[in-house]
Structure 1
Amino acid sequence: MEKSLRIAAAFIGISMLIGAIGFMFSPEAMEAQFSVVASRVDGMGTLRGDLGGFFLALSIFTLYGSRPGKSAWLAVPVVFLLAVLLGRTVHILIDGLSQPAIRSTLIEIVAIALLEAARRKLGTSNEEN
């Protein structure tokens, strides 16, 4: 179970790293996947800086937290993903339910559940004592 959770956390971290690289080096390719549009050149800076930086920071904390003895660091991406989920909930309540909103919400819930399970389970494993 612990090895599976560690692999799941590392997979989530790598996925976030791929997102970070995409937003930083090819934001125009990421626009359609994330339903965002940069209307000016400074908008590209927002995609690269805000979204790319966000995904990069989450990937660093997630990958570091997936290492033996470091699971406490998984609290950082869990808290940030909970904040994103709160924003997603506000979006659904104000703008209405859509297929992309359902997909994004489910991905966030699964990531939160896996990372929190890893944080709790790996934090009590014998490897960390």
Structure 2
Amino acid sequence: MEKGLRSAVVLIGVSMLLGAAGFIFAPEAMEAQFSVVASRVDGMGTLRGDLGGLFLTLAVFTLAGSRPGKSAWLAVPVVFMLAVLFGRTVHILLDGLSEPAIRSTVVEIIALVILEAARRKLVTDKVES
């Protein structure tokens, strides 16, 4: 169970790292996948800096928290995911429900559940020498 949970956390961290690389190095390729458009060159800076930085931060803390005895680091991506879900909820309430909103919300809830479960369960792991 613990090995599977740790593997799921690593998979989430690597996925976030790939998202960060995409936003930082090829933001134009990420626009359609995330339904965002940079209308000017400074918009590309927003995609690279804000979204790329967000995903990079999430990846770093998720991968750091995947190590034995380091699950406390997972509190950071858990809080980030809660904030993202809050924003997603406001979006759904104000802008209406859509298939992409449902898909994103489900992915975020699954990630949140895995990260929180790992934060709680893996805390007892001993650091191997």
| TM-score w.r.t. length of structure 1 | 0.97
Q: Could you tell me which runs of 5 or more consecutive residues in structure 1 were left unpaired when the two chains were aligned.
A: none
Tell me if 1:90 matches 2:90: yes
**Equivalent residue number for residue 117 of structure 1:** 117
Distance 2:127 2:114 in 1: 19
State the secondary structure of the residue aligned to 1:123: helix
1:59-98 superposed matches below 5 A: 59-98=59-98
- Structure-2 residue corresponding to 1:12: 12
What does residue range 38-53 of structure 1 map to in structure 2 within 5 Å?
A: 38-53=38-53
Question: Runs of 4 or more off by more than 4 Å in structure 1?
Answer: none
Aligned residue pair count: 128
CA distance in 2, matches of 1:21, 1:9: 18
RMSD: 1.0
Q: How far did residue 128 of structure 1 move?
A: 4.9
Structure 2 gap segments, 5+ residues each: none
Letter in 1 for 2:51: L
Provide, for residues 101-127 of structure 1, a one-character-per-residue CA deviation record: whole Å limited to 9, x for no partner: 0000000000000000000000123x2
- One-letter amino acid of the counterpart of residue 39, structure 1: S
Q: Deviations over 1:12-61 (max 9, x none)?
A: 00000000000000000000000000000000000000000000000000
Between the two proteins, what is the percent identity of the paired residues? 77
